[in-house]
Structure 1
Amino acid sequence: MGKLIMVRHGESEGNAIRRFTTSGEAKITDLGRRQALEAAVRIKLKYQPTLVIASTYARARETGLIIATELGIPIEYEAEFREQSLGDLAGQPYESIANDPTFDPKRSWVWRAPNGESHEDVLKRVAPVLDRVAKKYPDDEIVVVSHGGVMRAVWAHVTGKWENAHVPPNCGIVLIEHQSGRYRAPEVVFGEPPVREAGG
């Protein structure tokens, strides 16, 4: 049985000030680096991964590299694991979503920022890559470092529903086991979702 150990990146510069990042090059903070190291320790105690695959965004690259270095395993990068684009809301406070008249919290996954992506859009690009990784590594334990929106989309892909899809805090960990092309229900290993979390 294979295992996908999904990790959200450490606290980013945008997370620290509660604003959507304007660039994929936003880095993680000192706290984010500590969170990444703590995640690596948690993973080391429970699993034996052979590879880290990280989003190409700097905050995920940095987090993934810290984990890979601590575990002594290689790291690769996957552009499709990048965070949801918030389009014209880049640089705006997280709370700006609530000011958009098209936003419906009961169906938040279909909401799309102007010139951005919905979570459904994220699922469409992330799901095929996740399936490909699971197929390529059917018996391995693989760490995947990505973003809050990506992990929400992965949860929906694996469970088949958006309702109650888990968005972990920074360096939260979700385990997805798979066998013969089928996924088991995701397991939250570390990090309950904070209230009104946003901003991948």
Structure 2
Amino acid sequence: MKLTFIRHGQTDLNKDSCIQGGGIDQPLNETGIKQATGAASHFNPEKYDLVFSSPLQRAKKTAEIFVKGKKKINFDERIKEMDFGEWDTLKVNDLIKKYPKGFNQAGYVTNGYLRYAPSGESFEDVARRGSEFIDELISKYPDKNILVVCHGTLIKTLVAHYFSNGNLEVFEQVENCAISEFEMTEKLSKVIRYNQILY
């Protein structure tokens, strides 16, 4: 199976460097729409057999821009963004100052954040639901070319799950509207490209 991930375009929370998880349903802002439109101009949706999207509107709108009305979009709750609980919508820099043990040296959230946002998901929770979705695709559609439009932390967590034994430090954060491609089977997986910006 060939699997392509695209992260949604920018929202106002992205612009303001705020936490934006699965419990927050923000639309794309003007920049996000331009990013998606620009990236989609280099993109042929007709080469994909199936298209899936997170049901959150920032991913849904991005998917609609990319497929240009040429493919049906299937929605799945398992590919929503990680839920950051009480931290959602808060500014990252403020959280780093107040809760440094919730971040790594690069300024990315770690599981340590759960002591301050107990209703949030762990990275293991996200990997579990996301890999259940991916494993189902591999089983059902081993010879298909599949597009998945979703979220940055979800994509990074899944790539770490399949390619670095869950080590999130190996992969950089995914940019808005960046594309990542993989070949995946039940026995072997290969990275074709990761976090490539098309616009």
Task: Give the alignment's TM-score, normalised by structure 2.
Answer: 0.83
Gaps of 5+ in 2: none
Alignment of 1:1-200 (within 5 A): 2-21=1-20, 23-44=23-44, 48-69=47-68, 72-98=70-96, 99-105=98-104, 108-113=109-114, 114=117, 115-159=119-163, 160-162=165-167, 163-185=169-191, 187-188=193-194, 190-191=196-197
Assess if the C-alpha contact under 8 Å between 2:157 and 2:166 holds in 1.
no
Paired letter, 1:81: I
1:53 aligned counterpart, secondary structure: strand
What are the superposed Cα offsets for residues 8-46 of structure 1, whole Å, 9 maximum, x if unpaired? 00001211222224853210012111222233233329x
What are the superposed Cα offsets for residues 144-193 of structure 1, whole Å, 9 maximum, x if unpaired? 0111110111111220241312321100111011134532135226139x
Which aligned segments of 4 or more residues in structure 1 are displaced greater than 3 angstroms? 21-24, 106-109
Q: Percent identity?
A: 24
Paired letter, 1:136: K
Question: How has the CA–CA distance of structure 1 residues 188 and 24 changed in structure 2, closer, same or farther, with 3 Å as cutoff?
Answer: same
Paired letter, 2:112: W
Paired letter, 1:44: N
Aligned residue pairs total 189
Paired letter, 1:51: L
Paired letter, 1:93: K
What are the superposed Cα offsets for residues 89-134 of structure 1, whole Å, 9 maximum, x if unpaired? 1221022342314324169543334121232221121111111122
2:101 aligned counterpart, secondary structure: coil
Question: Which deviates more from structure 2 when the two are superposed, residues 8-17 or residues 106-115?
Answer: 106-115
Paired letter, 1:58: Q
Assess if the C-alpha contact under 8 Å between 2:53 and 2:75 holds in 1.
yes
CA RMSD in angstroms, aligned pairs only: 2.4
Assess if the C-alpha contact under 8 Å between 2:52 and 2:74 holds in 1.
yes
Question: How has the CA–CA distance of structure 1 residues 79 and 137 changed in structure 2, closer, same or farther, with 3 Å as cutoff?
Answer: same
2:68 aligned counterpart, secondary structure: helix
Gaps of 5+ in 1: 193-200
